[in-house]
Amino acid sequence: MASVSGLFSPSAPTPRIKIQPAMGVFRSGSCPNKIVLRQILCSSANEKHASGVVSSESRVPRVIGKGCKLIGCGSGIPTLQVSNDDLATIVDTSDEWISVRTGIRNRRVLSGKDSLTGLAVEAARKALEMAQVDPEDIDLVLMCTSTPEDLFGSAPQIQKELGCKQNPLAYDITAACSGFVLGLVSAACHIRGGGFNNVLIVGADSLSRYVDWTDRGTCILFGDAAGAVVMQACEAEEDGLFAFDLHSDGDGQRHLNASVKENENDHALGTNGSVRDFPPRQSSYSCIQMNGKEVFRFAVRCVPQSIESSLEKAGLTGSGIDWLLLHQANQRIIDAVATRLEVPQERVLSNLANYGNTSAASIPLALDEAVRGGKVKSGHKIAVAGFGAGLTWGSAIVRWG
């Protein structure tokens, strides 16, 4: 298992040295209750205690000379809406059975001329328009997705379609339903440590392409969508990413996966037997395999701990945030986490009923609706958390605007 936690502290004066983001790295058991944060320090000497821990006495901590803030959002959804009643015509289920267990009533699914890249570009354009940022001023495009339309990634196609003529860097981040949170943290690191000014973060997935539509345990859950935000460099005192906490546990992969499978009908070429099992068979991905009970237990146990860790590092409590925004996977998970954190339902953002689980798109999609609907206003603090396949999970405390 690997985990990373971060705390940004922009208030201290900036030393005249090369600046790098302050970040702590630690190893721990699954869902640690106690987080050990090592602050990276710069010094001309390598003083250590007998325990091996570097002393912070007479040292200047590396600090943040630049902040980052969220200034625009957008979303894109497919044309085709599939209701629970529609699903009841193809699998043994009902609207009541699905809504009671998941909170989902409808979902959007790619069809016809819809494409995931098209949705991502639509979301990106809306975010850029709200942020009043020209595509040519974008320094980096991050595409958070586990379902790219090209094996080698979709981010460069977004950059192309937006008309970013300066050829900014564009790459994909694959972390399933945690992808967007990782995108936020990655963007902040590029701004703080790399001198980037405007970063476009897109979360988009089309899990409907990997669903077994005869399995009522999974086909009822997923939908397709895209969401995007623009993160911009700012003065340190305006910083809008207060803290984060990120984890992974590969042992949990057995509970949620879509693994590579070989095509059994693809026979090896030739018969001389000079090289066994060559050429390789053509492969593809299996449909999504999920142990729902285990994933639920994982989420309600680990997600609150991650948010509590981020809040502690940000110097906040649950009452100090304006909104709780979780990956939209299951309403029971959202309710359980909110209860654990003592966040009342009126401060929980959820649009799960209309879209289902849209993986990396779910957080920016819900954020966009809340901002455009007038719920989330400039200056509001939001506790954001993603969790899903990998297993991966993480949280961040951000300020909108």
How far is C-alpha 340 from the geometric centre of its chain's CA atoms? 22
Could you tell me if 72 and 128 are in contact, meaning their C-beta atoms sit under 8 angstroms apart? Answer: yes
How many whole angstroms separate alpha carbon 353 and alpha carbon 355?
6
Query: In Å, what is the CA distance from 82 to each residue of 289, 355, 370?
Result: 21, 9, 23
Q: Is 324 helix (H, G, I), strand (E, B) or coil?
A: strand
- φ, ψ dihedrals at 6, nearest 5°: -140, 150
- φ, ψ dihedrals at 93, nearest 5°: -155, 180
Tell me if residue 330 is catalytic: no
Residue count of the chain? 401
Tell me if residue 247 is catalytic: no
How many whole angstroms separate alpha carbon 302 and alpha carbon 248?
11
Tell me if residue 327 is catalytic: yes
Could you tell me if 304 and 326 are in contact, meaning their C-beta atoms sit under 8 angstroms apart? Answer: no
Secondary element (H or E) of residue 132? none
How many whole angstroms separate alpha carbon 281 and alpha carbon 261?
10
Q: Which residues contact 293 (CB under 8 A, 6 or more apart)?
A: none
Write out 228-295 in H/E/C secondary structure.
EEEEEEECHHHCCEEEEEEEECHHHHHHEECCEEECCCCCCCCCCCCCCCCCCCCEEECCCEECHHHH
- Catalytic site residue from 73, 327, 351, 354: 327
Q: Which residue matches tokens 């053509």?
A: 282
In the numeric block, which tokens belong to residue 354? 């209309």
- Catalytic site residue from 164, 177, 219, 302: 177
Beta-carbon-side half-sphere exposure of residue 138 (alpha carbons within 13 Å): 35
End-to-end Cα spacing for the chain? 34
- Catalytic site residue from 330, 351, 354, 357: 357
How many whole angstroms separate alpha carbon 251 and alpha carbon 237?
40
- Catalytic (active-site) positions: 177, 327, 357
